[in-house]
Amino acid sequence: MIWIDKNGALEKEFILNSFSEIILKLQVLALIADKLNHHPDFTVKDYNKIIFHLKTHDQGNSVTEKDIQLSKEIDNLFK
């Protein structure tokens, strides 16, 4: 699945094996996001789905290069 444009943000859903797996991956993502100084919005659904919504809040809530870079990091981590 690819990232889609939804209401001016990049969005993608990942289905993992468990809630614990989501939390473990989010812990790693937190370190990456802090390093990039760019933090994603996300929603956890059911016990094994996470949906990311990426846009740059301080750039008029638009998609920027920061979002593209973070989406690649998320893809690598959540594949």
pLDDT tens sequence across 28-61: 999 999 999 999 999 999 999 999 999 998 877 8
pLDDT at 41: 96
Q: Is the pLDDT of residue 10 over 90?
A: yes
Alpha carbon 28 to its chain centroid, in Å, reads 12
Give the closest residue to 54 by CA, choosing from 44, 45, 43: 43
pLDDT at 61: 81
d(CA 6, CA 32): 24
Give the closest residue to 23 by CA, choosing from 47, 54, 57: 47
Q: Is the pLDDT of residue 67 over 80?
A: yes
Give yes or no for a contact between 23 and 30, defined as CB atoms under 8 angstroms apart: no
Share of the chain above pLDDT 90, in %: 89
Domains annotated for the chain, with CATH where assigned, are 4-78 (3.30.1360.20)
